[in-house]
Structure 1
């Protein structure tokens, strides 16, 4: 038979064991929790959405950025373009074709160990990818003909003048003596199937398709290079909000 004192001792020993066992149990589970968190981060960044930093002023006033300042951080979702191609008016992040990479410098460390850790972090989505990712607005898609003539009042696609509400119209103030093309005239260029013609909203300071018309793709970008659609500014808090993607395709 078990005495009452024996039962009490057994219960006390059991409680003591449980209490002492909890920290060991948590420490055993911690690596599993970390692995699951990293796996979820990888899946999220690879298939759903990723955060990008805007480093330049080429998309002003829609997106803010400049060398040495705190640029906008944007969410780029990857789901939409698994079912369809980008449309005119949408803001996209894409990998610059080879001819767009002049001046690009790797963001990886020269230290082999640190560089290896950075590459692992990039796979997991906690470190930016080491590639020339750019952000621009889609102006024309495969099969469309785009050009800009000051005499026609700006950019046209298939002969129709675009209504571009995202541009800073104050730049057209006659005092500033800026032409309707907000830069060089170009075209006509017929965009190859499977490619895009892209331009920055800050037309006076954006090295976009216009600056690469002499390359093998006539300045266009393959749809396969697109990383996703820019949909939301998450930082800084004062600029938080959605990114406009008006339908400018009138054809």
Structure 2
């Protein structure tokens, strides 16, 4: 499977073990015709950070190993659990595929920005910050081509996004397109589950009375500054922001 995986074309594999687990550390090289395998041996509990690996702690173990072995955004770790005479991969392949799709730009980390036109200068600042962090925010003035049908473009924007941020100010009125955006966000949440977040920021002297009724069932935040607003967004996204690395 790994040998034929297009996203991973060109990677070196380091193989380690920990009790009943086989651990593959895949280092992306981008050189498809040269692949090298190495060994890490039997890992210790100090390196792994746990006495055993199970479904409850596997992701925290993965993050610890990523730091210990300096695994970058285009690299990955796969856990294989021994099952009799063979090993079982579970959902690690899907997790790694999604990570590499985002890291290599195959799938953009899109975030839909819902707002009233009067608040566009505020939302542009948030958009710029999110772009600096590596996301691809959906803002109507940038995402829509001339002559595009608005409703269809909005639907496409939601389908491509992993989250919707509602910027609630006293200007935010639950009118035609804003009401539709709330409905589309809820539809995406039902469809994608924990792979889609609805994030509501109450800003600029707005209060709960400005929040559309359908959004009341979801957690909303009232940041005192724009910086706090960015922190709330990052904490609420279904995508984990990666560790810091030197620029290539």
TM-score (norm 2): 0.25
In terms of fraction of residues, the more helix-rich structure is: 2
- TM-score relative to the length of structure 1: 0.25
Which structure is larger by alpha-carbon Rg, 1 or 2?
A: 1
Q: Which has the higher contact order (CA 8 A, sep 6+)?
A: 1
